[in-house]
Amino acid sequence: MTSIKTIPQITSCAQRMASCVICAIVFMWLNVSASAEEVLIVLSSQAKPYMLAAEECEARLGNAGIQIKRVLLANISVKDIQQNGYTVVAIGGRASAMLAHELPAQYRLYYCMTPRPEQIGLVKRDNTSGISTDVDLKEQIEQIKRGMQSVQRVGVLYRSSSVASSLTINAMRSGVPPAWEIVAVDFDKATTEAQGIKQLLKEDIDIVWTVPDPSVYNQLTIKALLLGSLRKGIPVFGFSHSLVRAGAAYGIGIDPKEQGRRIADLVLNQTQDVHLGAAPKIAVNLIVAERIKIKIPESFIQKSDVVYRSD
């Protein structure tokens, strides 16, 4: 009697176990199918920071079993992307802007190494997530204060004909502490860019605050500003580590490799509609600080990620 009663229970238990095994196999198959999806990395150019970000992204995705293809923006069309059904990672502003406007919204788009994503249509686009190169203005202000506690008058270069540049200067003016004054020089009103830089450095300012504004800064204007600031003994707060290394007293920068790793994580998690800012890295040039005779607090130096020294 006992054996007759237990047979249906064993059969039912076996059926449930078989059902669970089948569900697990289906679940695993679906995950494998998702992770086998091919990711297309589109670079704005072969600039070293973009390449570093791409390499880190590829390594992280490759370790997770994702198939990856890397191309330059000049060598790919939206039609190619649509035909192959890629998930796309755009690296750099030009690639991000083009894909934000031309790639249909049903295609997933991720971006990194990209400034001002809200101004090029990335934030409003569906199925889009990424990491900008922008460091929050409040964070920059905090780092300026930590490096030079006596700052009050801050010099800034901008161009009124550029919408992005005008928005940045307005954000600076409204975001600085009450004790600070923004002394701004408009390149569009100067006879030449060199004259605009000279005009700014003639002002009674404590520091020059630079931001990655392509309408203002290029190799020539950066060189002129750094040379002029050294002669005048006015420190420059740089927007990149290369700018600090070239002659700014201190500043912030981003790590392209970190951006590559972070964007790969967003892809792996299939994160959508999340837009993150850059994690800033602090750099100090003690050679310049000593030359222009400014004292950067030791506590600030110790917490910096990169320190350029004479020894």
| Percent helix / strand / coil, the chain, rounded to 5 | 50, 20, 30
Which pTM does this prediction carry? Answer: 0.77
34-133+256-276 shares its CATH topology with 137-253+281-308? yes
- CA–CA distance, 99 with 115 (Å, rounded to integer): 15
- CA–CA distance, 184 with 144 (Å, rounded to integer): 17
Amino acid at 159: R
Q: What is the pLDDT of residue 215?
A: 93
Q: What is the pLDDT of residue 85?
A: 84
Geometric angle at alpha carbon 87, from 52 and 104, rounded to 5°: 120
- CA–CA distance, 269 with 88 (Å, rounded to integer): 14
- CA–CA distance, 99 with 103 (Å, rounded to integer): 5
Using 50, 70 and 90 to split pLDDT, how confident is the model at 24?
A: very low
- Name the residue ranges covered by the structural domains of the chain: 34-133+256-276, 137-253+281-308
pLDDT digits (tens, 9 = 90+) for 127-172: 999 999 999 999 999 999 999 989 999 999 999 999 989 999 999 9
pLDDT digits (tens, 9 = 90+) for 246-300: 999 999 999 999 999 999 999 999 998 999 999 899 999 999 999 999 999 999 9
Q: What is the mean pLDDT of residues 111-124?
A: 94
- CA–CA distance, 21 with 174 (Å, rounded to integer): 61
256 backbone dihedrals φ, ψ, rounded to 5°: -55, -35
181: β partners: 153
- CA–CA distance, 153 with 179 (Å, rounded to integer): 9
- CA–CA distance, 296 with 289 (Å, rounded to integer): 7
CATH fold of the domain at 34-133+256-276 = Rossmann fold (3.40.50)
pLDDT digits (tens, 9 = 90+) for 214-260: 899 999 999 999 999 999 999 999 999 999 999 999 999 999 999 99
Using 50, 70 and 90 to split pLDDT, how confident is the model at 36?
A: very low
CATH architecture of 137-253+281-308: 3-Layer(aba) Sandwich (3.40)
